[in-house]
Amino acid sequence: MFRIKICGITGVEDARMVARTGTDAVGLNFYPKSPRFLTLDSARKIVSALPDGVVKVGLFVNAEVDDLTSTVDLLGLDLIQLHGDEPPEFLVALGDRPVMRAFRLGQDGLRPITEYLRRCRFLDCMPRMVLIDSHVAGAYGGTGVVTDWPALVGYPTDEDFPPLVLAGGLTAANVAESIRTVHPAAVDTASGVESSPGQKDRARVEAFVLAAQRAFGDL
């Protein structure tokens, strides 16, 4: 669905700037405890400012199904990013709305992730994409901690598993190396292109997008 995603957009100007850099997708954060949290009204303004073709992703953490689906449908979001502890059955409750399931890579490596996905296959609710982030106790992403790239080399690449989106501490300085190492379908960053939480830095965004585009082109 996308190759380069900038997450945690908090304002209209940042949304327009990020879209102009060639970013494929933007993330809107609806987790109340995040410094990048958006109200529904703010999100509506951002969505209205984005050009056609930019994938609009709503990030949710342990939200109620009705609240989540109401937000997604009202804003016309293209993809739901589940970044909490939602079980496979939660995906069933979302119906046919496209989902990107995020996981925090812990000491057990890929095993819990592949087990989760097998359960999804059994329930016929396989997510469209899988995002893998770094594991930081008490946090649900956006920490800036680099994910254990070598541990992801064994992620299944057959068509039975969703495409892998790599996140966790990615910046313009390391995104090309991460793509060469992991061979993900896409990359995602938030803090790695910010001057402060929620405030995107144009130069950092442009450098990140250019580095990622070149690395994907070399694969």
Active centre residues (catalytic): 7, 133
Strands 99-105 and 129-134: parallel
Residue 174 phi/psi, 5-degree rounding, is -125, -5
Largest CA distance in the chain: 45
10 Å Cβ neighbour count for 182? 19
Instruction: For residue 141, give the nearest of 196, 99, 85 by alpha carbon.
Output: 85
**48-86 core/surface letters (b: 16 or more CB in 10 A; e: else):** eebeeebbbbbbbbebeeeebbebbeebebbbbbbbeeb
Residue 208 near residue 25, CB atoms below 8 Å: no
Q: Which helix (H) or strand (E) holds 99?
A: strand 99-105
Q: At what angle do helices 40-49 and 12-20 cross, to 10 degrees?
A: 30
